[in-house]
Structure 1
Amino acid sequence: MKKSLFAFTASAILFTQAAAAENVGVTSSADPRVTEAGIEMLRQGGSAADAAMAMMLALTVVEPQSSGIGGGGFLLYQDSAKNVLTTINGRETAPAAAKADRFVGPDGKPLGFLAAFQGGHSVGVPGNIQLMAQTHRKWGKLPWATVFKPAIRLSDKGFIVNKTLESRLQGIQRLWSNFDEARAIYWRNGKPVQAGTRLKNPKLAATLKLLAKKGPDAFYTGTVASQIVNAVTTSKLNPGDMTMSDLAQYRAKEQQAVCAPYRVYVVCGMAPPSSGATTVLQILGTLQRFDLTAMGKDSPKSWYLIGQAMQLAYADREKYLADDAFVDVPVAGLLNPEYIQQRSALIDPEKARSDYPAGNPPGAAPRTAAISSEVAGTTHFTAIDANGNIANMTSTIEGPFGSQLVAGGFFLNNELTDFTFAPEKNGAPVANRVAPGKRPLSSMSPTIVFDREGRAVLALGSAGGKRIIMHVTKTLIGVIDFGLPLDQAIALPNIYFGDGGLEVEQNTMLSAMADGLGKYGQKVRPVDLGSKVNGAQLVGNSWTGASDPRSEGTSSTIDAKGRVKTTVPRSVDEAPTEDVG
C-alpha cells in the first residue's frame, strides 16, 4: 500500500530548542495522583518519557474507566537534543481471526453498540506496554522498574476513590452481572464502591511487579498474556478469538507526524489511524481566511464559523480516514492548500449550509462514507522535563471500563468497536471496516504547536470520543486566535454537532448566545459536552501546565530547588487555584 504524504514531514523539520526554562519540569493529567507520579520521576532526574510512562501506569490504577495497560494510545515526543518530533502509534489491533462482519448480527444488520461492546469480541490486542517499551528505550533515563513504582504503590497500598470513578461505577453497574472479576475489585457489599473508599488492587499490583521485573515481553507472553487470552475467549458475553500469537506479534509503530501551518504557527499531531491531526488541521485550515481574532470569543459569528468548518471536516473524516496500512488514506490531499480553500469556499459567512458533503481531495480513490462508533472515554497527559523534552500522550480503553473484562487486575479495552460495524455501504467496502491486524480509526488528537522560530510552545490533548477533535481545536483557537492563556482556552465552552444542528455546552456563554447562533440558519441545542483537556504552554521561558475545570485533573511544575506548585482549576467560570508545596 502506498504510504500517505503529509503536508509537512516532521523528520524534515528541525525545531529549535527553547531557552532554559525557569521551571525544570511540568506534568498535567486528569488525576492529581497521576500528576504527582510524573513529578516523582522528574524529581529523580527522569526524562519526560519516564514521567509520562509513570503517569500512564498510574492511570491504570486510579482511572480504570478510561485508560490503562489493557488499552492503547498515541504519543508525540519532542526530543530537544535532536530537535526532532517523533510519534509512536500504540493503537490496538484486531486479532488474526477477525472478519469484516464481526459486528453484524444474524439478521445481516449492524449490532447496536450495547450488544457489541461487552465481552471478548470487542477486545483489541493492547498496545500501551509496547508503546511504553519503545518510549523508554529511546528516551528513558531512569531504570525500567523505577517507572512502575508509583502505580505499584497505588495499587498495593490503595487509593481513595474519587467522585468521577464513583459516578462511572454507578452508571455501569447494571451491566456487570456477567463480569465477576470487575465486581470483585470495584464492589463492596453487593454495590459499587463509593467516593472516599480506600481501594486496593492486589492482582494489578502483582501484574505491575511482574512487568517491572521481567520487562515488556512479560505482558505479551507468559502468564499475563495467558490471562488476557483466557478472559477474552471464555467471556460469558461475546467470547472472542484472540490468541497468544496475536499478543506475541504485536508491535507499536514509529510514524511521521502530520503537520501543517495555522496563522504563524505549525500544528502537529498523529498520522492515521488517528483522524485527530488531519481533521483538526482541516478545521483550522478552513478557518484561515476568517479573522477570528477581530471577531473574538464573545461573537456568535466566531462560533458559527467554527461550527461550519467542523461539520465539513468531519464529513471528510467519515469518508476517508482509516488505518493507512490497509487503506490508501489521502492525508496530503485532505490538507492540500488548494483543496482546503475549496472547502472553505463552501462556508457562507452569513448563512448555514443545509448539508455538509465530503469532498474529493487530490489523490483520493472512490470511497463510501460510513459512521464509526466512538465512546467519550479516554485520557490525556503531558510531561516536560528540565531539558525541554516533551511527552504528550492520549491513552484509552475506549468506553467506560472498556469491554468490562478484567485480566491481571486491569480492564481490557473494547477498542474494536471503533471500527465501522457495517463492512459495506451501497455495495462498496467501508474504509474503517474490521480486518485481521488492522487498527481501528481513532479521534485521539495529541497535539504540539511550534512558533515561527520553530520552538514548541504548546502541547495538549483531550478525552471525549469523537468530540476529542473539537475539544482540541477549540482550545487551539482559544490560544492562537483569541489570545487566551491555555487554562482559559481549555475552559471555553465546548461545541459539537448532532441531530441536524449544532450542539453547545449547556450553562455556558455559548448556550446563552444560542439565539444569536441560530440566526445563521442552523438549530442550536444546549447539551452536556464535558471534556478532559490537559496540556502545557510555554510562556516566556517557562512551561506552565493546565487542566480542564470539568475534570478532577491538575497540573504541577517543579523548579530547580525541587519546589512543586500544583494548579487545581475549580470550575469553568472560576480561575484556577494554586497549592504550593
Structure 2
Amino acid sequence: MKTALLAAAIALAVPAAAREVAPDTAMVSAADPRGAAAGVAMLKQGGNAMDAIAATLLALSVVEPQSSGIGGGGLLVYHPVGAKAPTTFDGREKAPAAATPNLFMEGAKPQNRREAVPGGKSVGVPGNIAMLALAHARHGKLPWATLFQPAITLARGGYDITPRLARAIAGGSETLGRTPAAATLFLNADGTPKAAGTRIVNEPLARVLEAVAKGGPRQFYTGEIAAGIVDTVRGAPTNPSSMTIADVAAYEAKQRPPVCAPYRAWRICTMGPPSAGGIAVIGIVKQLEGFDLARLGPKSVTSWHLFGESERLAFADRAAYGGDSDFVKVPVAGLVASDYLKARGALIRADATMAKVEAGQPAGAERRTAAPGGEIPSTTHFAAVDKAGNVASLTATVEGAFGSSLVAGGFVLNNELTDFSFEPALNGAPVANRVQGGKRPRSSMSPTIVYDRSGRPVLAIGAAGGMTIPAQVAKAIIGVLDWKLSVQDAIALPLLYASDDLLIAEKSPQGEPLQAMLPALEKLGHRTGSYPLPLKANGIERVAGGWRGGADPRSEGVAIGY
C-alpha cells in the first residue's frame, strides 16, 4: 500500500528524472505521501516553502483526517531566507467565550476524560485556515487559491484508505457512528468500519475548500461554513457546546515571538506559548550540555538514563508553567535561560536516579500548581524547504484520532479543549492551563528549526504523538547534532519517554535496543516499563549540496524532493 501511494505521489509531483539528483535542492517531508506530493507540486509551480507547507496541510485535511485538518489547529515556525530568526504563527484553537473554568467539572470532581472527548463541548474554534492565511499573506508566493487545488482534487476525485487510517477508523467506529456525517464518511452502510483500500470521495469537503479558495479565509469563519460548525457542535448528541457564530467569526491567528536558545555550537528556535512543547525541547537538550553525549553515543545506557532524567525535569516545568500567555504569565525567558537550565542539569547524576522531581523556580515565575493535561496522541508534522533557502516546520492537529468524532462540511472537528487541565485550581493555587473563555489550551506541539554558527538553518524537525512530542523532537535533535546521525536515522532511533517517574521504552521493533537496557536502567534506580507509543516524526536536514529528508519508519510518511 505504501509503495503504491508513494509511486503515485511522486508521479504526480516530481518527474522521474528529477529523482536522480542527490541531494535534493527542495523538499517536503510529511506523514502521508499524498500530502508531501501536494507540497512538492507547489514548489514545481514556482512556489516557496510557505506555499508548499500550506498545500501539504490542506491535502492532509483530506487524506489524514484522523490526525489533522482545517477543523483543527496548528503551530508554524517559518524561516524566511536571510532572516536572523524565524517567525512563528499560532493557529491554536480557542475556547468559546462562554466557557468557564468549570467546563469539565462535574460538581467537585473532573469529568471522566474519555467521556468528555466525543461531542461538542471538546471542540475549540478551528485555527488552521486563519493561520495559513496570515502566514501566506506575509511570506507566500503563489496565489491563495492555487494552494487548495491538490486538496480539492483529492477530495472530489477520491483517495484510498491507508492501513493507518483503517486502524484509526476501526478504533473509533463507535463514536464515529453517532452522527450521520461522520458515519457516511468512514463507515459502511451496515455500520462496520471501512477497510484499507476503500476509496473515499468527500464532495462536501471539496465544496468547502473551493469556497475558501475563492472567497478567502473569512469564507471559513462566516456564513454557511461557520454555521455548519456551530450547528454541529451545539446539536451534538453528547456534550453539546456553547459555541456561537460570534466565537467563530472572532477567531484570529497570531504571529508570536520565537523561543530560541543556544545548544553547544547550534541555536534552536521553536514555538512559544500556548505551546509548552518547544520550551520542553530546549529544556531537555540544554540540561544535558554538561554531559559528553557525543562520546557516550546512542548505544549507551548512560545516554538514555541522562535523557530520561532530563525529560523528567523539563516535563515538571511544563506541567507547572505551560499555558496561554495571553491569559497567564508564562516565564518563557526564565525557562530557557542558560544559567537556569545549567542549574537544572546539575541535578542530574550519571550514576543514579533523582528520587523526586519538582518544577524549578525560573526567573519571572509566579506560584503555580503543576497539573497534568489530557493530550491524546494523534497529530501530524511536516516540513518544507525550497531552492531559495526558505524553511517551514509545521505541526497540525485535531487532537485525538478523529478529534471530537464530529464532522461538519466534510472535515473532522477537533477535541482540543480537553487539552486544558480539567481542575482550575489545586492545592490552593491556580492552574496555568485551566479553562477560560477565549483561551487556547496548552500544547505539546514542537515545530523546530535548528541553526548553525553562521545562522543557516540546518534542521527542520517536529513530531506527532501527544505528550511524547517534546521527547521525540529532543531525541532527534541529539541524534543529528551530537550523534551525527542522518535525520532519517535519528527519527528512527527508539524513544525512552518519561511519564512522571516511570521510564517507558517504546514497545516496537525500533524499541528493542531500549527494551534490552531496562534492567540496567532499573539498577540506576528507575522504575521502567515497555508499552506501545504513538510515535510519528518528520524532518529535513541540510547536507553538502542540498537537503536530505527523514520520515518515521513507524508511519506511512515520506520525504519527496527534487
* TM-score with structure 2 setting the length: 0.94
For the residue of structure 2 that corresponds to 1:118, the secondary structure is: coil
Is 1:124 paired with 2:127? no
Q: Name 2:554's counterpart in structure 1.
A: 550
Q: Name 1:443's counterpart in structure 2.
A: 444
Residue correspondence of structure 1 range 367-386 to structure 2 within 5 A: 367-386=368-387
Contact in 1 for aligned 2:176/2:406 (Cα 8 Å): no
Structure 1 position 476, deviation (Å): 0.5
In 1, the alpha carbon distance for the partners of 2:500 and 2:361 equals 25
Q: Name 2:490's counterpart in structure 1.
A: 489
In 2, the alpha carbon distance for the partners of 1:82 and 1:426 equals 45
In 2, the alpha carbon distance for the partners of 1:338 and 1:538 equals 30
Deviations 1:116-135, CA, capped at 9 Å, x for gaps: 11111111011000011112
In 2, the alpha carbon distance for the partners of 1:463 and 1:498 equals 17
Structure 1 position 62, deviation (Å): 0.4
Contact in 2 for aligned 1:65/1:402 (Cα 8 Å): yes
Q: Name 2:222's counterpart in structure 1.
A: 221
For the residue of structure 2 that corresponds to 1:239, the secondary structure is: coil
Which ranges of structure 2 fall in alignment gaps of 5 or more residues?
A: 1-21
Is 1:67 paired with 2:68? yes
In 2, the alpha carbon distance for the partners of 1:31 and 1:486 equals 18
- Aligned partner letter, 1:111: Q
Structure 1 position 523, deviation (Å): 2.1
Structure 1 position 84, deviation (Å): 4.2
Deviations 1:208-267, CA, capped at 9 Å, x for gaps: 111111111100000100000100111111110111111111110001100001110000
For the residue of structure 2 that corresponds to 1:28, the secondary structure is: strand
In 1, the alpha carbon distance for the partners of 2:325 and 2:84 equals 27
In 2, the alpha carbon distance for the partners of 1:24 and 1:332 equals 35
Deviations 1:452-485, CA, capped at 9 Å, x for gaps: 1111000010000010000001101111111111
Structure 1 position 163, deviation (Å): 0.1
For the residue of structure 2 that corresponds to 1:121, the secondary structure is: coil
Deviations 1:143-168, CA, capped at 9 Å, x for gaps: 11111011000010100110000000
Q: Name 1:456's counterpart in structure 2.
A: 457
Q: 1:111 to 1:335 in 2, by over 3 A?
A: same
Structure 1 position 32, deviation (Å): 0.5
Among residues 518, 538, 542, which one is paired with 2:542 in the alignment? Answer: 538
Structure 1 position 179, deviation (Å): 2.0
Is 1:515 paired with 2:519? yes
Is 1:289 paired with 2:293? no
% identical aligned pairs: 49
Q: Name 2:336's counterpart in structure 1.
A: 335
Deviates more, 1:338-347 or 1:115-124: 338-347
Deviations 1:84-106, CA, capped at 9 Å, x for gaps: 4100011011111000000001x
Contact in 2 for aligned 1:23/1:386 (Cα 8 Å): no
Deviates more, 1:135-144 or 1:409-418: 135-144
Structure 1 position 367, deviation (Å): 1.1
Q: Name 1:161's counterpart in structure 2.
A: 161
Deviations 1:57-103, CA, capped at 9 Å, x for gaps: 00110000000000000001100044541000110111110000000
Residue correspondence of structure 1 range 63-462 to structure 2 within 5 A: 63-105=64-106, 107-190=107-190, 191-462=192-463
For the residue of structure 1 that corresponds to 2:109, the secondary structure is: coil
Deviations 1:283-312, CA, capped at 9 Å, x for gaps: 111100000111111000000000001001
For the residue of structure 2 that corresponds to 1:422, the secondary structure is: coil
Q: 1:499 to 1:444 in 2, by over 3 A?
A: closer
In 2, the alpha carbon distance for the partners of 1:328 and 1:103 equals 23
* TM-score with structure 1 setting the length: 0.91
Contact in 1 for aligned 2:380/2:395 (Cα 8 Å): yes
Deviates more, 1:61-70 or 1:422-431: 422-431
Structure 1 position 175, deviation (Å): 2.4
Residue correspondence of structure 1 range 455-474 to structure 2 within 5 A: 455-474=456-475
Deviates more, 1:519-528 or 1:446-455: 519-528
Q: Name 1:579's counterpart in structure 2.
A: none
In 1, the alpha carbon distance for the partners of 2:177 and 2:184 equals 11
- Aligned partner letter, 1:471: Q
Contact in 1 for aligned 2:312/2:499 (Cα 8 Å): no
- Aligned partner letter, 2:350: P
For the residue of structure 1 that corresponds to 2:262, the secondary structure is: strand
For the residue of structure 2 that corresponds to 1:192, the secondary structure is: coil
- Aligned partner letter, 1:289: G
- Aligned partner letter, 1:161: I
**Number of residue pairs matched by the alignment:** 537
Deviations 1:365-391, CA, capped at 9 Å, x for gaps: 111111111010100011111111111
In 1, the alpha carbon distance for the partners of 2:350 and 2:139 equals 47
Structure 1 position 429, deviation (Å): 1.4
Q: Name 2:35's counterpart in structure 1.
A: 34
Contact in 1 for aligned 2:488/2:551 (Cα 8 Å): yes
Deviates more, 1:362-371 or 1:78-87: 78-87
For the residue of structure 1 that corresponds to 2:384, the secondary structure is: strand
- Please, what is the CA RMSD of the aligned residues? 1.2
In 2, the alpha carbon distance for the partners of 1:432 and 1:513 equals 35
In 2, the alpha carbon distance for the partners of 1:530 and 1:516 equals 25
Contact in 2 for aligned 1:89/1:254 (Cα 8 Å): yes
Deviations 1:333-365, CA, capped at 9 Å, x for gaps: 112222212211211221111211111112211
For the residue of structure 1 that corresponds to 2:536, the secondary structure is: coil
In 2, the alpha carbon distance for the partners of 1:335 and 1:211 equals 39
For the residue of structure 1 that corresponds to 2:400, the secondary structure is: coil
In 2, the alpha carbon distance for the partners of 1:494 and 1:67 equals 23
Q: Name 2:6's counterpart in structure 1.
A: none
Contact in 2 for aligned 1:495/1:529 (Cα 8 Å): no
Q: Name 1:9's counterpart in structure 2.
A: none
Contact in 2 for aligned 1:98/1:435 (Cα 8 Å): yes
Q: 1:397 to 1:376 in 2, by over 3 A?
A: same
In 1, the alpha carbon distance for the partners of 2:264 and 2:545 equals 22
Deviates more, 1:438-447 or 1:139-148: 139-148
Structure 1 position 22, deviation (Å): 6.3
For the residue of structure 2 that corresponds to 1:77, the secondary structure is: strand
In 1, the alpha carbon distance for the partners of 2:408 and 2:545 equals 45
In 2, the alpha carbon distance for the partners of 1:254 and 1:66 equals 24
- Aligned partner letter, 1:163: P
Contact in 1 for aligned 2:176/2:186 (Cα 8 Å): no
- Aligned partner letter, 1:68: G
- Aligned partner letter, 1:288: E
- Aligned partner letter, 2:173: Q
- Aligned partner letter, 1:513: M
For the residue of structure 2 that corresponds to 1:260, the secondary structure is: strand
Contact in 1 for aligned 2:84/2:455 (Cα 8 Å): no
Contact in 2 for aligned 1:378/1:464 (Cα 8 Å): yes
